[in-house]
Copies of this chain bind each other. A is one copy, B any other.
């Protein structure tokens, strides 16, 4: 059994930004941060969905500047700490300094699960600035536990005080979560915490988060009404209820969390966040959401099922930046179809 007292990081104003195409206003951010602060949640992350510097042609422009969001959230909260996400390559040390000037206390440095190396400078600088520093291993389902452990150790050696197993594609089931969290917990120094970030693409975000805590995670991500990319994240209010039933102290007050989800976030949702055909396919195939549009286009062009393309990309463990593989796979599937192999 894991630790029974954990800290939750809410990502409504960061991962949730994906679900509203980064179009929350500063007033939205204030309303959501205020409602979150009243729940007692430990940390509130607020950044472009792709982290500091994410507002761009490639990742979509935010409605307002990063500094305006962060200042608004920092001014609003009374109890929660404020965090920003940073992906080295998108965000720079300069972005981090500007974010720190707004009053945030936590930085989370995210890399692909095999690329912890590129987090060294940012983690080091963050510690020098006195920020609580978290390492975030994205797409953690793509590598075996042993590989993940080595990457986590790197982040810890750079100074990360917590390392997260991040199920970016919502592709993990409870057994895998238990295995990977346990492996990190056993391999990392006692003073380094282990965290878990879920997506609900396979409908098991709450159960996965519970499994992570049972395996020794003391940090869990969640968002109000599950607002987040794909099928969304672990819903904060649901996790608060379930954790309480399971005897885990999250520090999150249930009724204020329910009210924040229902009265503050749901009315601001641009579309329902749910496990629908597209998000379920992502979780089933274990691929990036950035592949979806390309896969649907290629599917139409070559007369194959986009899902078969995505499943094949998942099997080949294609990563972001290898989008050209999508057409190759589509062509191959179309040929196989021609020679009469039955589709799924």
Contacts and interface: CB of A to CB of B under 8 A. Distances in A.
Contact of A206 (B204, B255, B281): B204
A205 B200 CA distance: 12
A114 B284 CA distance: 40
Contact of A262 (B245, B262, B277, B283): B277
A280 B307 CA distance: 32
Contacts of A230: none
B255 A266 contact: no
A259 B277 contact: yes
Nearest to A245: B173
Interface stretch (A40-48, A53-61, A128-136, A234-242): A234-242
Contacts of A274: 272, 274
19 contacts: A173-B210, A174-B210, A175-B246, A202-B238, A203-B235, A206-B207, A207-B207, A235-B275, A237-B277, A237-B280, A238-B280, A254-B284, A254-B344, A255-B305, A258-B280, A259-B277, A262-B276, A272-B272, A274-B274
A308 to B, nearest CB: 9
Copies of this chain, whole number: 2
A110 B175 CA distance: 33
Contacts of A284: 241, 245, 254
Contacts of A259: 277
Contacts of A204: 204, 206-207, 242
Contacts of A245: 173, 202, 284
Interface of A: 173-175, 202-207, 210, 235, 237-239, 241-242, 245-246, 253-255, 258-259, 261-262, 266, 272, 274-277, 280-281, 283-284, 305, 307, 344
Nearest to A238: B203
Contacts of A174: 207, 210
Nearest to A343: B255
The 9 closest A-B pairs by CB, nearest first: A207-B207, A203-B206, A203-B238, A262-B277, A241-B284, A258-B277, A204-B207, A202-B242, A238-B275
A315 to B, nearest CB: 13
Contacts of A266: 276
Contacts of A242: 173, 202-204
A213 to B, nearest CB: 12
Nearest to A231: B238
Contacts of A202: 206, 238, 241-242, 245
A305 B253 CA distance: 15
B305 A281 contact: no
A230 to B, nearest CB: 13
B241 A280 contact: yes
A246 B203 CA distance: 14
Contacts of A277: 237, 258-259, 261-262
B173 A307 contact: no
Nearest to A263: B277
A205 B203 CA distance: 8
B276 A241 contact: no
Nearest to A234: B203
